[in-house]
Structure 1
Amino acid sequence: MVAIEEAEPLIVPGDEVDFAVLGPVRAADAGRPIRLTAKARAVLAVFLLHPGAVLSRDRLIASVWDDPPRSALPNLQTYLTALRRASIDVETVPYGYRLRLGPDRLDLLAFDEAVRRARLEAAGGDAATADRLFAEALALWRGRPAEDVPLAATMQARVAELEERRENARLGWIDVRLRLGLHDELVGELTPLVEAAPLNERLWHRLMLALHRAGRRAEALEAYRRARSTLVTELGVEPGQELRGLQAAVLDDAPAPAPAPEEARQPAWTGICLLPADIADFTGREDETRDLVAALDGTGTAPVIVTVSGPPGVGKSTLAVHVAHLVRRRYPDGQLFVRLCDASLSPRDPADALAELLRALGVDTAGLPSSAGERAAMYRAKLADRAVLVVLDDAAGEAQVEPLIPGTPGSAVLVTSRGPLPALPGATAYALDVPPPADARDLLAGVAGAGRVASDPESAETIVDACGRLPLALRIAGARLVTRPAWPLAELARRLADASALNELRAGHLDVRATFGASYAALSAPARYAFRLLGSVAADGVAAWTVAAPSGATARDVDGSLEELAAAGLVTAGDADSAGQPRYRMHDLLRGFAAELFAAEESERSRTEALRRIAAAARDRAVDAARELPLAFAPPPPGVPARTPPCPRGGAWLEAERGVLVAVAETAARAGLAHEAAGLACALAPFLVVRGFHDEAVRMLGTAAGAAAAAGDADAETRLRLVRADAEVDRRRAGEVAGEFRHLLDRCSRAGDRHAAAYASLGVAATLEADLGSALAFATLAAERFEALGDGHGLLSAWTEIAAIQLFVGRNDAAVVTCRRALAHAGGHSAVHRARFLRMLGIACYETGRVEEAIGLYRACRDLCRDLRWSTGERLTLHRLAQAEAALGRHDAATGILLRCAEMSVNAGDTRGEALISYTMGEISRWRGDERAALAHFTTCLDRLDPLNEHFWSARTRDQIARSRAVLG
C-alpha cells in the first residue's frame, strides 16, 4: 500500500517564472501556488534539475530515495500523477519521462540564457549590458539548488555542478565590473568571497586588482601576502604566474589591466572517428534504433547520457555502433569509442581508458597526468564546448563511466553494460531484450541466405527457438550453415534439439558458451554458486527463496549474489511478481549453461542435497500458502495445518510461484527424490485444480507417481494416482479414469488401506454417471468410512457427491438435508466446500420453487468464489443465478449475467460451459416468445456438446430443438 504523506506548505511562485529550483523549489500555475507532498516536490525537483532530459523510472527512484522501499515504483507513479493533476506537464516518452520547459518558465534555464548573453555582450565590448545581464542571472539564485526537498545522495553531484556554474558566472560579472571601474564596490564583495574560498587564486587576483586600481596599494600587497601564505601552508605551492605578475605591477605602481572577456574556444581537431565499422547486414531493432536516435538528440544543460543494458550476446555493442554511425552528423567534432572490459571481462581502470582517449585526442603520452582525476579534468577540457559522441562499450558500473563523461552540453555518451546503471546521474536507460521472432528469422536469413531459410521454414523456426532468439547464437548458427552449404536446415535443427544447443553454437572466434563463461568467471564465488543453482530448476523465473533454500539461508542472505548476477547481465530483475517478490529471470541458453555447470561443478551428493532442500522448502511454503484450499483427494499426511478463510496473500504467492513449484516437483521426481516430489505435488495439486491448470496437475502428479513406483513407495504412488484421477474428474473426464479408480480400489483393499480405499470408492462413484444408484451406494459407503476415520475433508467430498446425485435424480428435499448438514460441518475446512454446498442448496431451492431463496444462496456462493479466485465455481454459479433471474422474468439481467459467464467460459476454454449457456439463452428466448432465436441457441448448444460424454444434455437439447421446429412449422 502506498503511504499517504501529509501536505507540505504551499510552493510559492517566483516573480518571473513558473518554476524555480535555484534555492527552495517553487512552482505556480497561472500565478497561483501549487500544493504538493514532500516526495512529489522531490520528484519535481529532479525534473527541474534536469530540464528537457529524459529520466528513466530507475533514475527517478535513485534520485529520490537513497534506499528505495519495495513500493518505490507505485509511489513514483502516484507522485507523477499528482504532478500532472497539478497541471505540471510531465511527458511519458520511450523509456522514461520528460518535463519540457523554456527559459521563460524555469529559473535555471533563465540563468543559463542570461549568462550566455552576458558573455556575448562582454566579448563584444558592451560592459554595461553585460553587467546588467550578469546581475539578472545571479539574482535568480536564492540559495542552494533544491535546498528544501529530500533528494538522494546521487543528486549531490548535480547540485555541486550547478553551484560551480554560479561561481564561474560570478567571476565573469566581477571582471565586467572591473572594466567598468566599480573598484570600491568590488572590494566589499570580494573580501568575504576569498574568506570563504581561500585557495581560489582567481578571487585573490580580482581582490588585489580592485584594491590596486582603487588606490589601496598597501592593502593589495597584504592581500598577496595572505594568498601566498595560505597556498604555501595548505598546498605547498607558490602562487601562479597571474598572481605573481599582479604583485609585481603593484610593487612598481604600474597599471594592471582587467582580465580579458572569455572567448569561445576553437576546436584544435575535428572529425575524429574511433567507431568500429557498422555491420552491413544489420537487421531488425527498428524500434530500439528509433528510440536511441531520438534520445541522443536531446538538449539541455548537461551532456546527453544513454545506457543500453542486456545479457551477454543480445547485441548491445552491435546496436550501439549502428546507432552511433546513424547520428555521426549530429556530433561533427568527433565520435570516440572505448571498451571498458578486457578480453576476460575484467573491468578496466578508468585511468587507462582516459589515457587511451587522450592519446586519440592528440595528447602526448609524456604529458599525461598520473592520477585518474587529473586525466578526467584534462579529458573534459579537451571536449569542452564541442559536439562529441562518446561510446563506452561493456561498462562494469557507474564509477567506471562517470570520469569519462564530458563536462559541457552538446556532447553525448552512449554506454553499453551487461547490467543496468541506475545510479548514473541524468541517464536514459534502455533494457535490451532478444528480438521478436520475425526479426530473429531475418537475422538468421541475413547470415545463412534468405532463399535457404525460406526453403525450410519449419526447420528455421526450430533453429530460432533453439537459439532462444539470442542474436549471437543466431549469427553463429547462420555462420555454420554458410560453411556447410550441403547441410539442410533440418540437420542443424536436429543437432540443436538432440544435444546441448551450446555444443553446436560456436563458429570460429564466436562461441556462445565461451561468452557466457567469461561473464561467469568474473563473478565472486557466492554469485557463481547462485548461478549454478538457477540452472538446477527449469523455471522461467525464480524468487530469492529458491536460491537461498539449498544452503539453508534466507532470501536476504543471497541478495548480494543476485544483485551481482543482475549487474553481470546473467539474470534480469526488472519486475516483481503478483506476490510482490522480485523475480529473477534468465535466458534459455543461459539457463542451459547454468545447468551444465550445476552438473559439472557440483558432486552428485551435492546436487541431490540441493534439490532435496529446494523441494522441502517449496513443499513447506506451498502447504502454508494453500491453507485456503481443500486438501488433496487422498488420505491427508500428519501435521497438515488447519484450513483458513480465503487468503489473497497465499493465493498470490502460489500464482507467482506456480511454474517454479511444478518444475521443482518434476525435477525432484526425475532425480529420484520420490518422497519430496510426492509431498510437493500433493500440496500443490489443489491449487492447480481450483485455478484450472489441470494439464500441469496431471503431468506433475504422473511424474511424481512414476518416481514413487520406481522407489517402491506403494503408499505414495497410490495417493498420487488418486489425486491425479480426481483432477481428471474435475475437468469432466470421469469416463477416462473409471478403470483407474476401480484398480486403485482393488489395490487399496488388498493392501488393507481402508482410508485410501474410501477415496477410491468415492472416485468410483464419480465415474458412474450412467448408474446413479450404484454411485450413491459407493459415495455413501465412502462417507461412512470418512466419518469413522475422522477425515472431515473426505466426508465433505463424499457429501458433495451424494448431494449432486440427489439433485440429479430429483430428490431435492434429501439434497437440502445433505447440504445443510454439510454447511454446518464445513467450519474449519476449506471455503471451497462451503461454496459448493451453497450452490447445490440454491439448486435444490430453485427446483422446489423457492427462487428468491435460491438467488440469495447463489449470490453468497458467487462472492465466496470470487474471494477464493475460483473461476470455475464462479462460472457455474453465475449460470445458475442467470437461470433464477430469468425464472422471475428478469430476462435482461439474466442475459447480462450469461454474457459475462460466456466470456469467462471462452477465456477458460470451457466449451461445455459455453454449450450450457447457449441452452439457457435458448430458454430465455422462448420465454420472451422468440422461438427462432431459441432454436438458434439450442442448435449452438448441441454443436458444442461432446456427444460421447454428454448423453443427458445432448438428448435434452435435441428435444428442445424438436420442440422449436414444431412451433415454427
Structure 2
Amino acid sequence: MPNTHDHADSLDLLPETHDGRTDRNPLPETSAAAAVDDVIALTVGAEKEHDPAPEAADGPRRGPLHDDAGFGQELRTRRKRIGLTIEGLAEVSGISVRAISDMERGLSRAPLPRTVAALAEALGLTPTASEAFVTMARAGRRTAVTGRPRAGDLPRPNREFIGRQRELGQIAHRCANLTIGGAALVAVVYGPPGVGKTAFALRVAEEQRDLFPDGRFHLDLSGAGGAALAVGDAQTRLLRALAVSPRRIAGDDDERTGQLRAILQQRRCLIVLDDAANEGQIRHLLPGAGPTMVIVTSRRALGGLEAVLRIGLAPFTAEESATFLRTVVDAEGCSTQEIDAVSRLCGHLPLALQIAAARLDGRSGWSMTRLVKELSDSDRRLAVLTPDGAGVEAAFMVSYQQLPEPTRTAFRRLAHTTTASFTIATATALTQLGPHDAEQVLEELVDLGLLQPGGPEQYRLDDLIRLFATARLRAEEPPTERTTRGGG
C-alpha cells in the first residue's frame, strides 16, 4: 500500500460554527445517511460506549464543562435516555442527521444558540435542565473559538485587502446558488507571481464563511516550487481533516477520491487548494455534487479542467495601487506624485507594493521621497523588493526555474526588447527561433506568468519581469549575448 499517511496531521478541521438546520443544509433523515456514514467511516464506535450512570432528569452531568466532549456526551446521553435514535431526534428537532452526529462525536464543538435551543426543546428539557444544556454548549463554543490554532487552519487573511470587487462578486453570485443536489463549485484563481492569488482566496473564505458552516480548509500543494505535494498525500490530509480515521483511508487514489466525494456531497465546506502545479495534481481532490466550494490557486490557468469558474488576476490599477499605499502606510505629507511614482516603480504588483510599504514603515528615517529614490535605481530595484532573499525576485525565480533551458534562454533574450509590447516577429529575431517555435515559447511564458498577452499576436513584458530577465541575462549569458540585438 502506498505510504500516503506521513503528513496526515498537517491539515485539520477548523473549529467553526455548525448550524445544521435542515432548512439550510437539508440532509436525508433515513438510513441513507447512515449508509454514507459507513462509506466514509465517520461513525466507527460512536454508539459502542456504555451510557453513563442514570441521573436526575433536571440535573446536568457532572464533570468539567471545558471538556471538548462535554456537550456532545451530554447530547448523546439525553437522546438515549428518551429512546430516540439520531434520525428520530433529527426529525423532531429539525436539525440534520449529520449535524447531530458531528456534535455527539465532538466534531462540531460550536453549535449556534438556535440549534441548541431546538435540541433542548426536542429533548423535552425543563427550564433548569435547558439552561444547563445551553451553558455547556456555550462553554464548548468558547473552547472552539479561543483554542490554540491547529495545523491546517486558514492562514491569517490580509486585513489591508483592497480591490478585486468584480472578481469577488463573481464568486459570491455562484456561492449563493450552491445546493446539496447541485454541482459543487470549483474556482481556479490564476495569475502571475506576486499578484495576490492566495490573498484573494482567503478573502473569499472570509466573506463567504457563513455559507460554509461545516468547515473551511487550506492545503498548500507546493506546486510552483517544484516539490509538489503528491496526490495521495493531499487526499489523505483532506480525509483526516474530515475525521476519517487513518486506518479507514483507502489505499489508492481512485478509492480515496470516492471517499472525499461521498463526504463532500453532504457538507457545506470551503477548501482552498493553494499553489497547484497542474491539472493532474488536483483532479482527484475535487468534489462532484454537493454544496462545497473549492478554490484552486495556480500560476497556470489549468485549462484542462472542465466545468470550473476561472478568475484571472492582474496587477492593480494605478488607483488601486495608490489606495493600497495610503491604507498601509502613514501617507501624511506624501505627495500624490510620490505615491504614484512608487506604484509605477512597483509595477502595480501587490507583492511589490506590500514590500515597499513594509520598507517604509520599518525604517523611521525613510520618507516616501527616499523610497522613490531607492526604487528608481533600476539596478537595485529588485534587491530592494526582495529583502532577505524573499520577495519579488524570489517569486519570479520559482517560475523561471520550471522552464526548460531553451525557454529560459529565450526569456533572457527578451530583455532586449525596447518596448513593453512586442510581436512574434520581434521575439523571433531576438531568440533566433522560427515563428512557430517562438510562439510556443511565448505561450509557455504566459502560462507561468512571466509574460502577458497584449492583443492579437502581441505580448507584454512588465517592467519588473523585464528587470528580472535582464538580471538573468547578465548572470547566465556570455558577454556576446548581453548586447542589444535589435527588435521592438
Asked whether 1:404 is paired with 2:285, we answer: yes
Pick the aligned partner of 1:487 from 366, 374, 377. 366
Match of 2:45 in 1: none
Equivalent-residue separation in structure 2 for 1:509 and 1:447 (angstroms): 23
What is the deviation of 1:595?
1.6
Match of 1:536 in 2: 416
Equivalent-residue separation in structure 2 for 1:421 and 1:457 (angstroms): 39
Q: CA RMSD in A?
A: 2.8
What is the deviation of 1:508?
5.2
Pick the aligned partner of 2:460 from 574, 585, 589. 585
Equivalent-residue separation in structure 2 for 1:509 and 1:293 (angstroms): 37
Pick the aligned partner of 2:167 from 285, 288, 295. 288
Match of 1:502 in 2: 382
SS at match of 1:416: strand
Alignment of 1:318-329 (within 5 A): 318-329=199-210
Equivalent-residue separation in structure 2 for 1:505 and 1:318 (angstroms): 19
CA deviation digits over 1:542-589, x for unaligned, max 9?
33343333454322223443333222122233x642xxx2x3323221
Match of 1:348 in 2: 229
SS at match of 1:282: coil
8 Å Cα contact 1:285-1:439 kept in structure 2: no
SS at match of 2:157: coil
Equivalent-residue separation in structure 1 for 2:362 and 2:205 (angstroms): 31
Match of 1:381 in 2: 262
What is the deviation of 1:282?
1.9
Equivalent-residue separation in structure 2 for 1:324 and 1:449 (angstroms): 29
SS at match of 2:161: coil
Mind listing any 5+ residue stretches in structure 2 that lack a counterpart? 1-25, 32-90, 111-143, 145-151
Alignment of 1:701-780 (within 5 A): none
Equivalent-residue separation in structure 1 for 2:434 and 2:295 (angstroms): 38
SS at match of 2:358: helix
What is the deviation of 1:123?
5.9
Equivalent-residue separation in structure 1 for 2:348 and 2:455 (angstroms): 24
Pick the aligned partner of 1:516 from 367, 392, 396. 396
8 Å Cα contact 2:414-2:430 kept in structure 1: no
- Shift in alpha-carbon separation, 1:388–1:428, aligned structure 2, 3 A: same
- Shift in alpha-carbon separation, 1:562–1:353, aligned structure 2, 3 A: farther
Equivalent-residue separation in structure 1 for 2:167 and 2:205 (angstroms): 13
Equivalent-residue separation in structure 1 for 2:232 and 2:448 (angstroms): 22
8 Å Cα contact 2:223-2:277 kept in structure 1: no
What is the deviation of 1:505?
0.9
| Counterpart amino acid of residue 216 in structure 2 | Q
Equivalent-residue separation in structure 2 for 1:324 and 1:450 (angstroms): 30
CA deviation digits over 1:378-428, x for unaligned, max 9?
222222221111111112222222211112221111111112122311111
Alignment of 1:408-557 (within 5 A): 408-451=289-332, 454-500=333-379, 501-507=381-387, 510-550=390-430, 552-557=432-437
8 Å Cα contact 2:431-2:438 kept in structure 1: no
Equivalent-residue separation in structure 1 for 2:324 and 2:296 (angstroms): 24
Pick the aligned partner of 1:276 from 155, 163, 169. 155
Asked whether 1:600 is paired with 2:475, we answer: yes
Match of 1:365 in 2: 246
- Shift in alpha-carbon separation, 1:342–1:551, aligned structure 2, 3 A: closer
SS at match of 1:293: helix
CA deviation digits over 1:723-746, x for unaligned, max 9?
xxxxxxxxxxxxxxxxxxxxxxxx
Equivalent-residue separation in structure 1 for 2:337 and 2:355 (angstroms): 19
Equivalent-residue separation in structure 2 for 1:507 and 1:446 (angstroms): 22
What is the deviation of 1:512?
0.9
SS at match of 1:415: strand
8 Å Cα contact 2:382-2:464 kept in structure 1: yes
Alignment of 1:201-280 (within 5 A): 266=98, 268=102, 269-270=107-108, 274-280=153-159
Equivalent-residue separation in structure 2 for 1:491 and 1:346 (angstroms): 39
8 Å Cα contact 1:310-1:418 kept in structure 2: yes
Mind listing any 5+ residue stretches in structure 1 that lack a counterpart? 1-116, 125-262, 619-659, 661-969
| Counterpart amino acid of residue 280 in structure 1 | R
- The higher-RCO structure (CA 8 Å, 6+ apart) is 2
- Shift in alpha-carbon separation, 1:425–1:265, aligned structure 2, 3 A: farther
| Counterpart amino acid of residue 168 in structure 2 | T
- Shift in alpha-carbon separation, 1:603–1:265, aligned structure 2, 3 A: farther
What is the deviation of 1:265?
6.4
| Counterpart amino acid of residue 374 in structure 2 | R
8 Å Cα contact 1:545-1:554 kept in structure 2: no
SS at match of 2:416: coil
What is the deviation of 1:342?
5.6
Equivalent-residue separation in structure 2 for 1:498 and 1:572 (angstroms): 24
Match of 1:207 in 2: none
SS at match of 1:494: helix
Equivalent-residue separation in structure 2 for 1:554 and 1:509 (angstroms): 37
Equivalent-residue separation in structure 1 for 2:247 and 2:446 (angstroms): 40
8 Å Cα contact 1:284-1:442 kept in structure 2: no
CA deviation digits over 1:812-854, x for unaligned, max 9?
xxxxxxxxxxxxxxxxxxxxxxxxxxxxxxxxxxxxxxxxxxx
Equivalent-residue separation in structure 1 for 2:377 and 2:156 (angstroms): 37
SS at match of 1:600: helix
Pick the aligned partner of 2:196 from 315, 321, 333. 315
| Counterpart amino acid of residue 426 in structure 2 | T
| Counterpart amino acid of residue 286 in structure 1 | Q
Alignment of 1:783-802 (within 5 A): none
8 Å Cα contact 2:194-2:395 kept in structure 1: yes
Higher Cα Rg, which structure: 1
- Shift in alpha-carbon separation, 1:382–1:562, aligned structure 2, 3 A: same
8 Å Cα contact 1:437-1:469 kept in structure 2: yes
Q: Would you say how many aligned residue pairs link Structure 1 and Structure 2?
A: 350
Match of 2:9 in 1: none
What is the deviation of 1:457?
2.7
Pick the aligned partner of 1:393 from 274, 286, 291. 274
- TM-score normalised by the chain length of structure 2: 0.66
8 Å Cα contact 2:224-2:399 kept in structure 1: no
Work out the percentage of aligned pairs sharing the same amino acid. Answer: 33
SS at match of 2:98: coil
- Shift in alpha-carbon separation, 1:419–1:342, aligned structure 2, 3 A: closer
| Counterpart amino acid of residue 558 in structure 1 | A
SS at match of 2:168: helix
8 Å Cα contact 2:224-2:275 kept in structure 1: no
What is the deviation of 1:442?
2.0
Greater helix content: 1
| Counterpart amino acid of residue 284 in structure 2 | P
| Counterpart amino acid of residue 445 in structure 1 | R
8 Å Cα contact 1:390-1:414 kept in structure 2: yes
- Shift in alpha-carbon separation, 1:334–1:603, aligned structure 2, 3 A: same
Equivalent-residue separation in structure 1 for 2:432 and 2:378 (angstroms): 34
- Shift in alpha-carbon separation, 1:331–1:510, aligned structure 2, 3 A: same
SS at match of 2:372: helix
What is the deviation of 1:330?
0.7
| Counterpart amino acid of residue 480 in structure 2 | R
Equivalent-residue separation in structure 1 for 2:204 and 2:277 (angstroms): 21
Pick the aligned partner of 1:333 from 211, 214, 234. 214
Equivalent-residue separation in structure 2 for 1:602 and 1:394 (angstroms): 31
What is the deviation of 1:343?
7.6
